[in-house]
Amino acid sequence: MSRAQFINRESSWLDFNNRVLEEAQDAQNPLLERLKFIAITSNNLDEFFMVRMGSLHFLQGSGRTQRDPSGLSPAEQLRGASEKAKELVKNQYSCFHEEIKPAMNEAGILRITPESANQEQRRQLQTLFENELAPTLTPAAVNEDGPVPSYPNLALQLLVRLKDVTKDKKRQQRLAILPIIGDIDRFISLRVKEGYGYMAVEDVIAMHIQHYFPSDDVLEVVPFRITRNADMAVSEDEALDLVTQMDAVLSERKVSDCVRIELLDNATLVAERSLRKIFSVSEREIYRVTGPLNFGDYFSIAGLPGYDHLRQEEWPPCPAEKMDLSKSIFDQITTSPRLFHHPYDSFDPVVKMIEQAAEDPQVIAIKQILYRTSKNSPIVTALMRAAEKGKSVTVIVELKARFDEARNIEWARSMEQAGVQVIYGVKGFKTHAKLLIIVRREPGGIRRYLHLGTGNYNEGTAKLYTDISYLTCDPDLGIDASMFFNTITGFSQPQTFRRLAAAPLTLRDTLLQMIDGEIERAKQGQKAHIRAKFNSLADTVMIKELYRASKAGVKIELLVRGVCCLHPGIRGLSENIRVVSIVDRFLEHSRIFWFRHGGNPRVFIASADWMTRNLDKRVELMTPVDEPALREELEHILETGLKDNVKARELKSDGFYHRIRPQENEKPLRSQEILYKESQARSNRSNRSRRTTFEPHRPRKRNSKK
């Protein structure tokens, strides 16, 4: 198969981040929402450079020449990704300076510079610097020819060039680096006549830089930021103590190779050359920007109080339809399974389910997989409380969840101290499945209650990411879930599941069988149709199978938020495949797979994307949802997304994403807005249908006298 039929993964990811940037460029979005999308693109790029570019740097440095499915070598991928990333950054800053910043000024949100600060503001800044910044921050001399400094990844720093000196008839350049670290706000609020004024902390320090060098001539102060390679992992064959090994990896990241340096474009070439030499990078790794550095810090400005008119209307999660959190979750699940679509539907039922399990005397065991969770997790707190009450609690904590390793280590240690049995994932794999099993002793015997989902047990991101939660006590799924959990936690051999599919065991084969079934029906002249929604599509085997299905006449509709290496619309190969990406206020994160199956559709939810790492190198789960009403809900989610003509882009045969717009006489349909309003309506109907119970006040009983 020709390599040209695959889109390069790095290029596809940068295309996704460009779609995020388009939301910042869209003047129809409220101003502070546009600023928020600028911040998101910045954070996305940080992770891209740490992981993907870091990996390509390693491959190139090791001399590897193996080409990816699109036909590019590591060196070619690195060069192409760097060029595309620089173009994206250029557009990012153009959007900020030409559109967003002027609109912020007009709205009274003003960035004060050292040149524009008035006398009163200067006095305020002088006091702040002397009392808070000067005692905290420390510059350190640095030698271009010395060892690479262990300055922090992604932290804002200042390169200070001092007047050269002559020593032993040789001219010596003097440099210092001042990292801005610790609990320091990036933006300093300043008093202005009207509106909100702020100054970037690097400007405040630059104004007072002579404080650190009272006897020297300061030639230049250059704000910069380095990005280090974070694509490193534990050597599990040698990891007798995984926690200790993971701590070592976290330490190694702090001094890993530099893969990007961002600095302001007014920096001199002398300063740039010094930074390149200090951190051992080439000119390609230098990213000059018009400032400010790190738009990710602008989340704080986007959330300023008092500017709600510059933001979108709040969409708070709706209380779950027909789920009374004041009553037993278990009794309600026994009556009928429940499906929730977050964040339209509240995540509270999932949290409440675990909290009730901790207190319920009938619950004898809780088993859960934690991949990522929140800083102050009520779920982890409930698990520890359950263990302290004597329940059997076993938790799989994935220590290899990138960028959450430190938090997961902390939670794991806390749970162990509370009596929770903690398993640190599976050797050789990341445990990415989303599963909760609650075992309850009831009059009729043991019953298992399950939560199976597509997202993490994080009540914070559950308000920002679209995900599916499925609550059930189906006996077959319960048996499968227990076998799956025991396979992970012990040495038991994988068993044949009744209904679940798990990676790396059966998930890939199950998907291939489902696709093959549609191909056979198409060959027999029957209607054949596949719909799928996931974050990424990069696995070449799955892509080839979809191409084969397209050539057989199967209609294929894909909702792919991010990376898509499949090339749709190619005659004779993929003309029956449509790829749509939606970028809106919520991050599309749910995984739903639908197969027409001869008119009796099969629908699944999963923790896995269609990527090689998910299907072969991670522990994942795929769950069938067979209840007709719940299946229809999932079908509706897919249909609504595919009809979006406001926030959707379609990947065409030219390899570019094109914004979908309403056709003539066609109403605008924004899928996330539709789904939220439908959730609101369901919640309101449910509240109205609940019978009101009146409880009369009764007189207090009096003691009778004889």
* pLDDT tens sequence across 446-456: 999 999 999 99
In a domain, 192, yes or no: yes
Whole-angstrom distance, CA of residue 12 vs CA of residue 566? 10
Residues facing residue 171 across a β-bridge: 166
pLDDT of the residue at 145? 77
Average pLDDT over residues 412-425: 90
pLDDT higher at 429 or 463: 463
- Contacts of residue 682, defined as CB under 8 A and 6 or more positions apart, other chains included, come to 318, 321
Are 481 and 527 found together in one domain? no
Q: How far apart are CA 323 and CA 566, in angstroms?
A: 41
Task: Return the pLDDT at 341.
Answer: 97
In tens, the pLDDT along 380-392 reads 999 999 999 999 9
Q: What is the domain-level CATH number for residue 239?
A: 3.30.1840.10
Residues 148-157: b if buried by 16+ CB within 10 A, e if exposed: ebebebbebb
What contacts 5, CB < 8 A, 6 or more positions away? Answer: 547, 567, 570, 573, 574
Q: What number of CA atoms fall less than 13 Å from residue 647's CA on the CB side?
A: 23
Question: What average pLDDT does range 352-378 have in this prediction?
Answer: 94
Q: By residue range, what is the domain housing residue 305?
A: 3-310
Q: Determine the average pLDDT of the residues in 515-521.
A: 98
Last residue of a domain, which of 442, 473, 496?
Answer: 496
16 and 100 in a common domain: yes
Same domain? For 492 and 513 the reply is no
pLDDT-based confidence at residue 484 (cuts at 50, 70, 90)? very high
d(CA 636, CA 531): 11
Question: Which residues have a Cβ under 8 Å from the Cβ of 61 and sit 6 or more positions away?
Answer: none
CATH number at residue 351: 3.30.870.10
Condensed to tens digits (0 to 9), the pLDDT of residues 37-94 reads 999 999 999 999 988 888 888 788 777 788 989 999 988 999 999 999 999 999 999 9
Catalytic residue among 342, 432, 451, 567: 432
pLDDT bracket for residue 233 (50, 70, 90): low
Say yes or no to pLDDT of 123 above 70: yes
Same domain for 353 and 240, yes or no, is no
DSSP run (H or E) holding 161: strand 156-167
- 3-class DSSP state of 104: helix
Q: Residue 236's closest CA among 223, 224, 246?
A: 246
For the residues 414-424, what does the mean pLDDT come to?
91
Both 216 and 336 in one domain: the answer is no
SS3 314: coil
Instruction: Identify whether 696 is part of a domain.
Output: no
Taking CA 557 as the corner, what is the angle to CA 552 and CA 559, rounded to the nearest 5 degrees?
A: 145
And the tokens for 355? 């909290």
- Interhelix angle 31-48/9-25, rounded to 10 degrees, is 160
Beta-carbon count within 10 A of 579 CB: 21
Q: Which residues pair with 438 in a beta bridge?
A: 366, 449
pLDDT at position 144, please?
Answer: 80
Query: Average pLDDT for residues 180-203, to the nearest whole number?
Result: 94
Does 153 reside within a domain? yes
Backbone angles phi, psi at 228, to 5 degrees: -105, 155
Q: Is the pLDDT of residue 693 over 80?
A: no
Helices (H), 230-307: 242-253, 269-279, 299-302
Confidence band for 641, pLDDT divided at 50, 70 and 90: very high
* DSSP letter assigned to residue 261: E
C-alpha distances (whole Å) from 406 to each of 346, 368, 372, 436, 450 are 28, 19, 11, 23, 28
By the 8 A CB rule, do 125 and 225 touch? no
For residue 478, report the phi and psi dihedrals to the nearest 5 degrees: -65, -45
**Residue 690: its pLDDT value, please?**
57
Residue 254 pLDDT more than 60?
A: no
Residue 128 and residue 258 in one domain: yes
User: Could you give phi then psi for residue 404, rounded to 5 degrees?
Assistant: -115, 10
Longest dimension (CA), the chain: 117
Rounded to 5 degrees, φ, ψ at 166 are -110, 125
Q: Which residue has the higher pLDDT, 271 or 247?
A: 271
Considering the domain boundaries, does residue 324 fall inside one?
A: no
Measured between alpha carbons, how far apart are the two ends of the chain, in Å?
102
For 588-600, the pLDDT digits (tens) are 999 999 999 999 9
Which region holds residue 620: left if phi is over 0, alpha if psi is between -120 and 50, else beta? beta
11 and 145 in a common domain: yes
Predicted structure pTM score: 0.91
Find the mean pLDDT for residues 217-233. 86
pLDDT at 704 over 60: no
Closest CA to 527 of 632, 626, 601: 601
Question: Chain centroid to CA 5: how far?
Answer: 28
Closest CA to 515 of 551, 485, 483: 551
Task: Please state, in angstroms and rounded to a whole number, the distance separating the CA atoms of residues 165 and 172.
Answer: 5
Within a domain: 273: yes
pLDDT at 237 over 50: no
Residue 476 has pLDDT above 50, yes or no: yes
DSSP H or E run through 76: helix 74-95
Cα angle, residue 267 at apex, residues 94 and 258 outer, rounded to 5°: 85
Beta bridge partners of 429: 426
- CA geometry: angle at 621 spanning 619 and 623, to 5°? 175
- Residues 6 or more apart whose CB falls under 8 angstroms from that of 297 comprise 39, 186, 187
Kindly indicate the confidence band of residue 706, based on its pLDDT and cuts at 50, 70 and 90: very low
Asked whether residue 701 is assigned to any structural domain, the reply reads no
Range in 256-265, 520-529, 619-628 with the lowest mean pLDDT: 256-265
> To the nearest whole number, what is the mean pLDDT of the chain?
90
Q: Which of 311, 310, 309, 336 is nearest to 322 (CA)?
A: 336
CA-nearest of 87, 17, 144 to 287 is: 87
Judged by phi (left if over 0) then psi (alpha if -120 to 50, else beta), residue 220 lies in beta
- Position 495 pLDDT exceeds 80: no
User: pLDDT per residue over 533-547, tens digit each?
Assistant: 999 999 999 999 999
| The pLDDT of residue 265 | 94
Domain count, the chain: 3
Q: Do 432 and 520 lie in a common domain?
A: no
231 pLDDT tier (thresholds 50, 70, 90): low
Residues 437 and 577 in one domain: no
- Do residue 222 and residue 339 come from a single domain? no
Q: Which residue, 448, 478, 496, sits at the end of a domain? A: 496
Distances (CA, A) of 36 to 189, 263, 293, 311: 19, 22, 15, 10
Residue 697 is assigned to a structural domain of this protein: no
* Nearest-angstrom CA–CA distance, 635 and 466: 15
Is a pLDDT exceeding 90 seen at residue 375?
Answer: no
Residue-level pLDDT at 149: 65
pLDDT: is 549 or 2 the higher one? 549
Single-letter code of the amino acid located at 197:
G
Q: What is the pLDDT of residue 56?
A: 86
At 246, is the pLDDT very low, low, confident or very high (cuts 50, 70, 90)? very low
What pLDDT sits at residue 152? 85
Q: Which of 69, 19, 1, 53 is nearest to 565 (CA)?
A: 69
Confidence of residue 328 (pLDDT cuts 50, 70, 90): very high
Q: Is 612 domain-assigned?
A: yes
Q: 262: pLDDT confidence band, cut at 50, 70 and 90?
A: very high
Percentage with pLDDT > 90 across the chain: 76
Same domain flag for 219 and 345: no
Report the pLDDT value the prediction gives residue 240, as an integer from 0 to 100.
41
Catalytic residue check, 309: no
How high is the pLDDT of residue 702? 53
Query: What is the SS3 assignment for 517?
Result: helix
The residue with greater pLDDT, 23 or 428, is: 23
Q: Which of 255, 281, 310 is the last residue of a domain?
A: 310
Same domain for 484 and 512, yes or no, is no
